[in-house]
Amino acid sequence: MPAPLIEPVARLIESFARLPGIGPKTAQRLTFHLLRAPEVEARNLAAALVAVRDEVVFCERCFNISDAPLCSICRDPGRDTSRLCVVEEPLDVLAIERTGEFRGLYHVLNGAISPIDGIGPERLRIRELLARADEARRAGRPFTEVILATNPTLEGEATAMYLAERLEATVESITRIARGIPVGGDLEYADEITLIRSLQGRRAV
């Protein structure tokens, strides 16, 4: 029997290994890195972990991550409140914000419908989205456009379909993000499926 790891080390390795994308080997490497690193580095990491749990909440309107009951986007008076972009995860908000192209509001579902993972519509922030659209309509300021920006996966498409059917009555128009060739990409290197989809989604110039 090899000598067992002392308990605090084993516990940290296990905690790292539970994170997505981190296997047992990487978990060990991270643990031993922190053991060797200056103490302040480890203490900073620990403090950051505590802060992220204590100080970050979900925005009560759009369910993006936030440091206040309403997130900075929902608080911003300069945003176009007639447009709404629906995404799966907070990271998707960051991605779209980086473009600087969209000035409307967001709604974060926190996932996509996936029966395999036991995720039905009721497990997502869908009820809140429908209530939000309905409220806006009652207030006489219905969303002029809801962009369904869930991922172009089977689950993302199913979620978009589900939402489109339920939003129809309360918003003016529903759109779905396009699929196709990445900008600056070479046709030669695009995979066949992407090429097929972009041919199907072609438009007149």
Partner 1 sequence: MIRRTADGARAEAGVQAGGTRPVELAVELARQGGGSRKRIAVNGVPRRAAALAGTLRVVLFAPEEMLLVAGPPGLRRSALDLLAGQARPAYLHDLATYGRALQQRNSLLRAIRDEGASPEDLRLWDAPLVEAGAAVVAERLRLLDALAGPLAAAGREIAPGEGPLTVVYETNAPRLPGEEPREALARRLRDTADKERWNGTTLVGPHRDDLRFELAGEPLAAFGSRGQQRSAILAFKLAQLDLLTDLDGRPPLLLLDDVFSELDPQRREHLVRRIADLPQAFVTTTSPHDLDPALREHATTWRVEPDDGERGALLLPDRGHEGPAVAVP
Residues that bind partner 1 (CB under 8 A): 113-116, 118, 120-121, 154-155, 157-158, 161-162, 192-193, 196
Residues across the chain: 205
Residue 111: Cβ within 10 Å count: 16
Where b means 16+ CB within 10 Å and e means fewer, 89-102 reads: bbebbeebeeeeeb
Minimum CB distance to partner 1, residue 199 (Å): 12
**Rounded Cα–Cα distance for residues 57 and 72 (Å):** 12
Report the residue number, 71 or 113, with the smaller CB distance to partner 1.
Answer: 113
Minimum CB distance to partner 1, residue 171 (Å): 20
**Nearest 5°: phi and psi at 103?**
-115, 10
Minimum CB distance to partner 1, residue 201 (Å): 15
What residue type is 147 in one-letter code? I
Minimum CB distance to partner 1, residue 115 (Å): 4
Report the residue number, 101 or 122, with the smaller CB distance to partner 1.
Answer: 122
Minimum CB distance to partner 1, residue 117 (Å): 8
Report the residue number, 115 or 184, with the smaller CB distance to partner 1.
Answer: 115
**Rounded Cα–Cα distance for residues 178 and 184 (Å):** 16
Report the residue number, 81 or 194, with the smaller CB distance to partner 1.
Answer: 194
CA 70 to chain centre: 17
Report the residue number, 92 or 155, with the smaller CB distance to partner 1.
Answer: 155
**Rounded Cα–Cα distance for residues 143 and 166 (Å):** 14
